Each structure stands twice: as structure tokens, then as C-alpha cells.
């Protein structure tokens, strides 16, 4: 897992380059077809990658965009999916039954079906009318890391490609996205020593809650899921405002609150930190550099550089992946193969199918 975390920057760079032409062709097809809406669906980390990219779709794409778990897709398919819909189904393995079924039903109803997957020979790729294949390489460990970075970045690239051609802000943001692999490398180098130093203290907490706004809300979901599945401690996620408006009152010294603090949500984050301290819980803030947290944080990890408000998830996620890995080790867990991995895969894969790296020759 730690190897894959450090491969994240190269995985993102290769994925963006490998799909540059296909994303451009897709955007032209969407404009020519006159579609009315976009639906993005997935499960697990593929769903959280879509949630990280959602603000970019909302800000730059004129088409209404819905992101929903594949398990909920059947509730809305009859109302939202038809020949005027673009459906993007995301599954790193391309084998998750609910995701494959969502794309298959969408194509049957006349939608333009796009599969975002890491396996070109997967069920999802075979059912898709357009397959966007990430170039993250093998990722045998169960808690996915580099493929989440690659998937979120690719979805952001699709959102930017669907912007109005005269949207100069989208053009500038795409250039920022393409430069982010170098930023991620710097972030990993700068934050890993700090994460390792904090773990003896952080790992004493029995529970953790991760919060963020904008694209960092998706990071909060992803971090909560990863820490629980790798370290086996109880976690939850919320928006920064959502935790502040009620649930924070039920926390105590056993809880660690992990806010992702951006300059856009600094005032809100400070209010949350005040209440966290008043109820006796502790905080570990991941923040842009130079933000004044007023001494309200118990511990902090600063990013080495500022983060674009829409692309922030790509910058904030890697340190939390490091936190997941070292927290699992501190709890004497094997993050590469959680004990429940086989049972989970048997429950979510289509009959007779297997994760790409686990297939028998």
C-alpha cells in the first residue's frame, strides 16, 4: 500500500495523458448529441472519486450533474436515464456488479454510456460505448489509493472538457490539473514525516470523523472509509457545516476530528474547532499553508502549497492515505489485506468474476 501511495503522482500523470484524445472526442460527441444531463455512479472508492469531481462538473459544465451510489441508481433510472443522458459508470476493477448493471441498463435505455475503469477487458469496459481506461497499473492491495487519485483526476478532466470552449477559467484549471502530479510528490515528501511523528498520539483515539467542503467532502468520505477498512477503528464522515450543526455535541475525548481546512472554508472550520475543543474532543487539521488556525487545533499538517478550490481533493487526499497506512500499522493491522477482504469481494463481484490482479492465469 505504501508503494502504491507513492506511485499516485505518476498514475495520475499517465492517466491524464493516455485519455487526452478520448476525453476530447467524448466532449465533442456530447455537444453534437445535445444531451440534457449527466449521471455519474460507482461504489466504494469509485463513488468517492466521483464525489471529489462533482464540484468541477457543477462549476464548469452547463449540464445538470448527478452523482449517486450504484446501489441507488435503480431508484432514478426510469426518470433520469434516456437518450438525452450521459451516464458515467466508475469501477477500478470494472467488475462490481451494481456498477456494471447500472451502465448496462443505461445503454439499454438509449443513454450514452461511458465506463471509467482500470481494466480494458473488464465487464464494465465491454458494456461501455466509450471506455476511459486509467493507467494506474497493478494495485493488488485491497484499500485502493493511487487508482482513486487517477480516477478522480480523470473525472475532473472530463468535467473540464465539457466546459464551454470559451471558458478560459476551465482551460487554466486543466493546466493546473496536469501540473498536479508534481504537487502531489512534494506533498507526500513534506507530510509523511509529520504523519509518522503524530501516529503514536493519533492512534490512541478510538473513533475519528473526517470533514471537508467542496471537493474535500469527497475526501472526507474516502478517508473515513479507508481508515475503518484498514485500521478497523470506527469512523464517520460529514461536511464541515454538517458536523458543526449538531453531531459534534456528541463527541468526547475518544474522538479525533480531522477537518480539511481550505482558505474558502477557514471561518467555518474555526467555528467547528472551537466547539470540538469545548466538548473535549481532539482535532488534527490538514490545511493549506499559512492559514491561521488561532491555536484551536491540537495538531496540524500543512500542505506545502495552496490548493485550487475545485481540485483541492487531489492535493488533500495523499496525506490522508499516508495517515490510513500508518494508523493501520499502529493498530497491528495488515493494510494490504484486511481480514474481511475475501468475504467482501465475494459479496460485491459478479458471479464467476474476480479482481483483475487476482485472476488466475
SS3 289: coil
Q: What is the pTM of this model?
A: 0.94
46: phi then psi, degrees, rounded to nearest 5: -70, -40
Q: How far apart are the first and last CA of the chain?
A: 23
With b meaning 16 or more CB within 10 Å and e meaning fewer, what string describes 330-360? Answer: eeebebbebeebeeebeeebeeebebbeeee
Residues of the chain with CATH 3.40.50.10490: 2-166, 181-330
pLDDT, residue 361, reads: 53
Per DSSP (E only), the strands in 225-329 are 234-239, 255-261, 282-287, 299-302
Per-residue pLDDT of the chain (361 residues; tens, 9 = 90+): 999 999 999 999 999 999 999 999 999 999 999 999 999 999 999 999 999 999 999 999 999 999 999 999 999 999 999 999 999 999 999 998 899 999 999 999 999 999 999 999 999 999 999 999 999 998 888 889 999 999 999 999 999 999 999 999 999 999 999 999 999 999 999 999 999 999 999 999 999 999 999 999 999 999 999 999 999 999 999 999 999 999 999 999 999 999 999 999 999 999 999 999 999 999 999 999 999 999 999 999 999 999 999 999 999 999 999 999 999 999 999 988 766 665 666 666 667 666 676 655 5
- Say which CATH architecture domain 2-166 belongs to: 3-Layer(aba) Sandwich (3.40)
**Cα–Cα distance list, 30 to 82, 85, 131, 159, 305 (Å):** 14, 9, 15, 12, 35
**What is the C-alpha to C-alpha distance for residues 315 and 334, in angstroms, rounded to an integer?**
26
pLDDT, position 349: 66
DSSP structure class, residue 193: H
Angle between the N-to-C axes of helices 312-330 and 8-18, in degrees from 0 to 180, rounded to the nearest 10 = 140
Distance, C-alpha 183 to centroid of its chain: 17
Count of beta carbons in the 10 Å neighbourhood of residue 101: 18
Q: Which cell numbers hold the place of 351?
A: 458471479
Say if residues 310 and 55 touch (Cβ distance below 8 Å): yes
Assess contact for 12 and 52: CB atoms under 8 A.
no
Give which of 87, 106, 95 is closest to 41, Cα–Cα: 87
CATH architecture of the domain formed by 181-330:
3-Layer(aba) Sandwich (3.40)
User: Hey, is 131 helix, strand or coil?
Assistant: strand
Neighbour count for residue 207 (Cβ, 10 Å): 16
The alpha carbons of the chain give a radius of gyration, in whole angstroms, of 20
Helix axes 146-161, 44-60, angle to 10 degrees: 30
Amino acid at each position: 500500500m505504501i508503494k502504491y501511495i507513492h506511485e499516485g503522482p505518476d498514475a495520475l500523470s499517465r492517466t491524464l495523458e493516455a485519455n487526452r484524445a478520448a476525453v476530447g472526442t467524448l466532449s465533442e460527441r456530447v455537444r453534437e448529441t445535445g444531451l440534457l444531463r449527466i449521471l455519474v455512479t460507482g461504489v466504494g472508492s469509485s463513488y468517492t472519486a466521483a464525489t471529489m469531481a462533482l464540484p468541477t462538473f457543477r462549476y464548469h459544465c452547463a449540464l445538470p450533474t448527478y452523482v449517486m451510489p450504484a446501489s441507488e441508481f435503480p431508484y432514478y433510472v426510469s426518470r433520469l436515464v434516456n437518450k438525452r443522458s450521459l451516464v458515467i459508470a466508475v469501477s477500478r476493477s470494472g467488475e462490481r456488479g451494481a456498477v456494471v448493471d447500472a451502465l448496462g441498463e443505461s445503454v439499454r435505455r438509449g443513454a450514452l454510456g461511458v465506463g471509467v475503469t482500470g481494466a480494458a477487458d473488464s465487464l464494465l469496459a465491454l458494456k461501455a460505448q466509450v471506455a476511459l481506461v486509467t493507467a494506474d497499473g497493478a494495485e493488488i492491495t485491497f484499500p485502493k489509493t493511487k487508482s482513486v487519485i487517477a480516477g478522480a483526476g480523470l473525472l475532473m478532466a472530463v468535467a473540464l472538457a465539457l466546459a464551454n470552449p470559451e471558458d478560459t477559467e476551465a482551460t487554466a484549471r486543466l493546466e493546473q490539473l496536469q501540473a498536479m502530479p508534481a504537487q502531489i510528490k512534494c506533498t507526500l515528501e513534506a507530510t509523511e514525516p509529520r504523519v509518522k511523528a503524530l501516529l503514536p498520539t493519533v492512534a490512541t483515539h478510538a473513533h475519528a470523523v473526517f470533514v471537508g467542503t467542496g471537493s474535500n467532502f469527497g475526501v472526507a468520505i474516502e478517508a473515513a472509509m479507508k481508515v475503518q477498512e484498514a485500521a478497523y477503528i470506527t469512523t464517520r464522515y460529514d461536511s464541515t457545516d454538517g458536523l458543526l450543526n449538531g453531531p459534534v455535541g456528541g463527541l468526547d475525548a475518544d474522538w479525533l476530528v480531522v477537518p480539511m481546512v481550505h482558505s474558502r472554508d477557514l471561518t467555518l472550520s474555526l467555528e467547528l474547532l472551537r466547539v470540538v475543543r469545548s466538548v473535549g474532543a481532539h482535532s488534527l487539521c490538514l490545511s493549506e499553508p499559512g492559514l491561521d488556525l488561532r491555536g484551536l487545533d491540537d495538531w496540524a499538517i500543512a500542505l506545502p502549497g495552496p490548493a485550487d478550490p475545485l481540485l483541492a481533493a487531489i492535493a488533500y487526499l495523499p496525506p490522508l492515505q499516508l495517515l490510513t497506512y500508518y494508523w493501520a500499522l499502529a493498530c497491528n493491522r495488515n493494510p494490504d489485506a484486511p481480514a474481511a477482504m475475501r468475504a467482501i469481494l465475494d459479496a460485491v463481484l459478479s458471479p464467476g468474476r474476480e479482481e483483475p490482479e487476482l485472476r488466475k492465469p
